[in-house]
Amino acid sequence: MTQPPFASQSATGKLPAEGTQARRFGKTRSAQSTALLEDYVELIADLLDSEGEARPTDIARRLGVSHATAIKAIARVKRAGLATARPYRGVFLTEKGHALAHRVRARHRLVVDLLRALGVPTESAEADAEGIEHYVSETTLKAFAQFLKARG
Amino acid sequence: MTQPPFASQSATGKLPAEGTQARRFGKTRSAQSTALLEDYVELIADLLDSEGEARPTDIARRLGVSHATAIKAIARVKRAGLATARPYRGVFLTEKGHALAHRVRARHRLVVDLLRALGVPTESAEADAEGIEHYVSETTLKAFAQFLKARG
DNA sequence: GTCAAAATGTAGCTATAGCTACATTTTACA
DNA sequence: TGTAAAATGTAGCTATAGCTACATTTTGAC
Ligand SMILES: [Mn+2]
Ligand SMILES: [Mn+2]
Ligand SMILES: [Mn+2]
Ligand SMILES: [Mn+2]
């Protein structure tokens, strides 16, 4: 069966079964709801490592949001059992927070590395990865790692 | 310079400049705010093509949300000038809506094709693409197309 | 030690995105 | 043709995520 040049393999024009499609969208919504928690935890870990402390003001400035927004989001991170805070002493990660930070950091790096391996310029890779990372499954991550390893 | 096996190229341990990081996160937030619009427009286009009509009930069932949620979201899509609707006659795309649907559809296919080319199983590729697609820049899309073309 | 600046916290607003429950309208069919 | 089922629409609730404005607390410079 001959294909026209550059034709998509996935352009069949048929809709997936309703249940299948609903499950896919549901997964995406669930990932979306944890994206903010992941970004905060990753940033807190980065600040703790490189600055020794993670203050709400610095978190807000790095995220590009107001400090009020950051404080409310940090409250949500605390509610999720990922962090604790001491006023004027900054934010700290719990065991659970540290574990999440490690996973999120590894995933972020892997996504950036893959994009760069595909020829995406560094800044685009970093910017896009900030969004993409939250929607990459374990299965897909394994494929990324495999590809990078094979490619050397 | 010898690298330990599988070491990340992007693991430098240094934080990006504050402004750079804030710009990246801002882009991600902006993409997030259009993700829902894109999914609705893409789904409406798919239903119009394959069923001849796009009714709120069917949209809701395929997205896995209540019909009330879908109706409110469709109101937002209309407010954005992407669609119109006639009660019991379904939802229709405006010129602008059609144009967006085409872009979104092409991007969705390209993301799925790339994931599959990297060895991601079909169902994971489809599920992950549903989230990833909204955060892929034009620059990155070009790199994906280039990679697929080179790989044949 | 005082006091101004910085950081933190609070209040109140908007918009989005989900839900259930109830109301209305249109179809479909017996 | 009359009525039940389906579709649509509305109301009211929660939670998230952003903002500005104002209040309080802590630091730090003098
Ligand atoms: Mn991110
Ligand atoms: Mn990240
Ligand atoms: Mn999507
Ligand atoms: Mn899609």
CA-based nearest distance B78→chain A, Å = 21
| Average pLDDT value over all residues in chain B | 94
User: B152 vs A29, which has greater pLDDT?
Assistant: A29
Q: Where residue A10 falls among pLDDT bands split at 50, 70, 90? A: confident
Protein A62 CA to nucleic acid C9 C1', in Å? 20
| In the predicted structure, residue A69 carries a pLDDT above the cut 60 | yes
- Give yes or no for residue B6 having a pLDDT over 90: no
Domains and CATH numbers, chain B: 18-151 (1.10.10.10)
Whether residues A13 and B50 touch (CB distance < 8 A) is answered with: yes
Helix axes B122-132, B95-117, angle to 10 degrees: 140
List chain B residues with CB under 8 Å of A132.
132, 135-136
Å between CA of B72 and C1' of C17: 9
> Could you report the per-residue pLDDT of A21-53, keeping only the tens digit for each?
999 999 999 999 999 999 999 999 999 999 999
| Per-residue pLDDT tens digits for A70-83 | 999 999 999 999 99
User: What percentage of chain A reaches a pLDDT higher than 70?
Assistant: 96
pLDDT tens, position by position, B55-80:
999 999 999 999 999 999 999 999 99
Q: How far is the CA of B20 from the C1' of D17 (A)?
A: 22
3-state secondary structure of B138: helix
Q: What is the mean pLDDT of residues B122-132?
A: 98
Nearest chain A residue to B16 by CA distance is A62
Closest-approaching ligand to the CA atom of B16: 2
Q: What is the DSSP string of chain A?
A: ----TT--TT----PPPHHHHHHHHHHHHHHHHHHHHHHHHHHHHHHHHHHS---HHHHHHHHTS-HHHHHHHHHHHHHTTSEEEETTTEEEE-HHHHHHHHHHHHHHHHHHHHHHHTT--HHHHHHHHHHHGGG--HHHHHHHHHHHHHH-
Q: Which of residues 65-104 of B touch A (CB under 8 A)?
A: none
Of residues B37 and A5, more confidently modeled: B37
Closest partner residue to B137 (CB to CB) among A28, A113, A124 is A124
Tell me what percent of the residues of chain A surpass a pLDDT of 90.
90
Instruction: Check A140 against B147: CB less than 8 A apart.
Output: no
* A88-112 residue pLDDT tens: 999 999 999 999 999 999 999 999 9
pLDDT value for A2: 47
Global pTM reads 0.94
Which residue among B24, B128, B139 places its CB closest to the CB of A130?
A: B24
A29 contact partners, CB below 8 Å, separation of at least 6: none
- Chain D positions with an atom below 7 A of a protein C-beta are 6-12, 16-21, 25-27
